[in-house]
Structure 1
């Protein structure tokens, strides 16, 4: 009989680490990744030899990224694997680490996300099957068209869509790991260089480099390694789905999100009203509006009004992208999904400082990847 993560051995995030997301530099990926891993080990107060498996989420580095990086911590012979799932690579690495612990294959596993900018080479270009659109509609044009359709359908304004960037850059300004650390006004967002349609530069996420790491452990390991149980955050759902045919729907990413999140709610035994913090795939401002609706945080067509009301602010009903989201925290591809789990863990521990959502107990991390795939995790305060 198929089991959910909640029905298997409990899995808790016990250590988190980041290397700041930043513009491309000469820093080797090994230094980026080791910074995050060492921070996670220190946070968990364990040694590298206690880690029993490792998954590295990366989309642009190339083959065999784990061993040249992790050998500096010691050649312990543990199984290592690279995970590539487009923007959801880090999220998928988290899922694989959780499954190792939940199934009993390992007591302690680490998920790492690390990337450096490089030309994106999509496998679909080598299928010899050409679609009718081809390269005529690049991602930012696709989302500009969705923004235009959303505004026409629901009466939202360009200012309301742009307000997402104002909120997320305000959050990012208080995040020392964010790529964009400067608050912006609505006027600055709207006046920025146009990218496509109504979308300006500040309504599109920056793609840079960085790293994130999360260590997950079983109850037995927490006891044996004397890990501080009060700082452990339980993963109560880990769901991965891929796109199917959605007849009559305008946006397959939103429908895929709706299905994946609904399954995560069921597995974690929660509802949208239980969420205190959400980190979602806001690569473009319009995505945040579409996804909060798909998650059931507000009604269809009400996303713009939800953001305008302050319900998505830190201190509101549910803090959306308290890290700054992809728009301000950045989107280095491989690390992004793992970094979301790091942020939610920090929030549920009550360690987010000025970005802290009061009394946060339940959080959701959501990433969509080209393909299209969607990975969702639900985390809950364990103690």
Structure 2
């Protein structure tokens, strides 16, 4: 029978670093990536020479983009793997980093997500007459939002309040693309993108980088890493779509697997960083996780249950809506945020006594990733 991550030796996130997510600039992707990696190394208190293997998640940069970043740290001849998995590229790279450490193949793994925006390109289906490539993501999620609103009697204002929370959290995050709190009127008054979906309810796709370091217990002891900075990766799960599954079903299945593997009930999650490229996704994925039942998200949101300091802090980083979605870094940055939260090091975004965190990403609705992190 196939083993789970928990069947192997423990793996821990011991360092995190970022280059701020931002609009396209003249900054080279090498500088973006180096800033994040150096931040993670400094946070962990180790050197580049201590890293055994590297995994680089990108969506836009082309072949072997990580090589040009890491050679500036010193070329030590150690393994380097590049990963592309749409919006879940960083999450996929993190899973590989966890597996290589948990399996004992490496003691310290670097996971870096780095990207700069370009016109997105999807591989062709190879079949004529299908509409998959004709429906833009914002149209798809606008329609899903309308369906959800009709099913549960939810207003445009109710959905827009999700973005109010996200922008409020992002205003507290120095790494966020959007760092300005917004009122409900500002959210609703933004440029209309599709249906009732406005621009401030859609994620900005910019540039940036995020890095985390994954280490074994042996490496933590050998390298003198502060044990208080070590956050255990309790599970790593991934699934792909079936012929009939939706984004929500992919998310429900992968989250259920991650929680099962970690032996953690949904109602014990303290911090939940999820894929909210559009506001309606937060409502759907919180319900898909089992944190609340279908149709209960909006009243719980209004009661403050998903605020920092509430029942479960959902996207305290600002989420994709405010933190931003530069593709490659996104899933890695989620893990970094959760690590800070579980360490009690998230500053003004800190969710009190956070012990269990869940990171979730979806790639083109077809692949799902979920990771559970716990404070030892």
TM class by shorter chain equals over 0.9
The aligned runs of 1:1-383 (5 Å cut-off) are: 1-123=1-123, 125=124, 127-246=125-244, 252-370=246-364, 372-382=366-376
Deviates more, 1:129-138 or 1:100-109: 129-138
Deviation at 1:4, TM superposition (A): 1.0
| Cα distance in 2, alignment partners of residues 77 and 134 from structure 1 | 42
Instruction: Give TM-score scaled by structure 1 length.
Output: 0.97
**Distance across 1 between alignment mates of 2:175 and 2:293:** 33
RMSD over aligned Cα, in angstroms?
1.0
Q: How many residues align?
A: 376
Q: Partners of 2:83 and 2:288 in 1: how far apart?
A: 27
CA deviations 1:244-301 (Å, max 9, x no partner) are 134xx7xx01111111111111100000111000000010000000000000111111
Superposed CA deviations along residues 334-358 of structure 1, whole A, max 9, x for unmatched, are 0000000000000000011111000
Give distance in 2, aligned partners of 1:95 and 1:6: 13
Whole-Å separation in 1 of the counterparts to 2:130 and 2:48: 50
State the distance in 1 between where 2:27 and 2:128 align: 38
Instruction: Describe the SS at the equivalent of 1:6.
Output: helix
The structural deviation recorded for 1:40 is: 0.3
Distance (whole Å) between structure 2 residues aligned to residue 260 and residue 131 of structure 1: 31
Contact 2:272 2:357 in 1 (8 A): yes
Cα separation, 2, equivalents of 1:28 and 1:350: 33
Provide closer, same or farther for how the CA distance between residues 371 and 154 of structure 1 changes in structure 2, counting only shifts above 3 A.
closer
Distance 1:132 1:311 in 2: 41
The change in CA–CA distance for 1:288 and 1:70 in structure 2 (over 3 A counts) is same
**Cα separation, partners in 2 of 1:155 and 1:333, compared to 1, 3 Å:** same
Q: Which structure 1 segments of 5+ residues have no match?
A: none
Compared CA separation, residues 302 and 353, structure 1 to 2 (3 A): same
* Closer/same/farther in 2, CA of residues 183 and 242 from structure 1, 3 Å limit: same
Does structure 1 retain, via aligned residues, the 8 Å contact 2:247–2:365? no
User: What is the rounded CA distance, in whole Å, between the counterparts of 1:159 and 1:317 in structure 2?
Assistant: 22
Matched residue SS, 2:71: helix
Q: Do the aligned partners of 2:55 and 2:112 also contact (CA within 8 Å) in 1?
A: yes
CA apart distance, 1:305: 1.7
| CA offset digits 1:315-346 (Å, max 9, x no partner) | 00000000000000000000000000000000
SS at 1:72 equivalent: coil
Q: Distance in 2 between matches of 1:131 and 1:346?
A: 47
Structure 1: distance between partners of 2:298 and 2:7: 37
Name the SS of the counterpart of 2:210 in structure 1.
Answer: strand
Distance 2:41 2:216 in 1: 16
2:360·2:371 contact (CA, 8 Å) conserved in 1? yes
Whole-angstrom CA distance in 1 between matches of 2:68 and 2:173: 30
**So what's the TM-score if we normalise by structure 2?**
0.99
- Give SS of 2:251's match: helix
Secondary structure, counterpart of 1:239 in structure 2: strand
